[in-house]
Structure formats: structure tokens, C-alpha cells
Amino acid sequence: MTTQTKRISKGVLAGIAGGLLASFIMDKFQAFASKAGGPQSSEEGEPATVKAASAIAESALNHQLSPDEKKAAGPVMHYLMGGLSGGLYGAVSAIVPTANAGAGTLFGAALWLLADEFAVPALGLSKKPTEIPPEKHAMALVSHLVYGLATYGAKRALLTAL
């Protein structure tokens, strides 16, 4: 295994772990901000994570999720997305160090833009961005900046320890 392959492999593993931890921190940040008077989620219907899990279960397994399964599936999808995004970030930043710009906040902003503002609505998992109030976009962006910063910090700490 080459030195670059080892560096990328370590980056992926540290990124996955960092992304999982950052997903937890993001959840706690959103709960705190909500209690502190931040914008409340009034999204009609199910969260995008539950919609995604339901779509996967139906298309891949030909199975409709029960209410209890949906309750578990939302957090699973959130952490899966967080871990996979962190792993991708770990790989990219091992190859292109400037991906660490802003201590992970550039990564968090890019993830918000690509996932929340483009992919999730395009897949029909949320309302169109124009149908969502600006303060909710702002809260989602800040939440993803927190996620990016936490992913960067955890990834960096793990890479230092490896």
C-alpha cells in the first residue's frame, strides 16, 4: 500500500468517525437552538430522513416501514448521511488539503448547499427552497457549519492519534 493510499484510508476512517460524532453534535445544537427561540421545524409530513428511509425500504426491499420502523429510520439515515459525508470529506481532504479551509466550515457550507438546498428537494424529500422561509435556510446553514467544524475537529484529532 502506498503512502498516499494509507493517508486516504486514514482520512476516510477518521472522517467517518468525525462525521458520526458531528451528526450527534449537530442534533444537540439544533435542539439547543430550538429551545433558545430558533426557528421551529413546522415541515408538514415526515422529515426528509424518514422519507428517504421509506423510499429505500420500498424500492430495495419491497417493504413499507411501520410507524415504529420510521421512528428508528430517521436517526439512522441522519447518522448514515453524516458518516458517509464525513468519510468523503476525509478522503478529499487527504488528497486536497485546501478542503480543510475554514476548519471544516467550507465543507459544512458545501454540504448544506448540495444536500439541503439541491439534492433533498430535487428528490422530492422536502419542499422547494423557495417554499421555505429564509430563517429556516439560515438555521440549516448554521447547523451544517457546526457539523463541518465538528467533523474537522474530530477528524484532525483522530488523524493526530493514528
pLDDT tens for 117-160 read 999 999 988 899 999 999 999 999 999 999 999 999 999 999 99
Poorest-pLDDT segment among 17-26, 44-53, 68-77: 44-53
Rounded (10°) CA dihedral 47, 49, 55, 57: -120
d(CA 31, CA 147): 14
CA distances from 84 to 23, 43, 76, 127 (A): 11, 25, 12, 24
Question: Could you tell me which residues come within 8 angstroms of residue 12 by beta carbon, excluding any fewer than 6 positions away?
Answer: 87, 90, 91, 94
Judged against a pLDDT cut of 80, whether residue 41 lies above it is answered with no
pTM assigned to the model: 0.89
d(CA 41, CA 136): 8
pLDDT of amino acid 125: 87
Mean pLDDT across the chain: 91
Query: Per residue in 63-91, pLDDT tens?
Result: 898 889 889 988 999 999 999 999 999 99
pLDDT of amino acid 42: 45
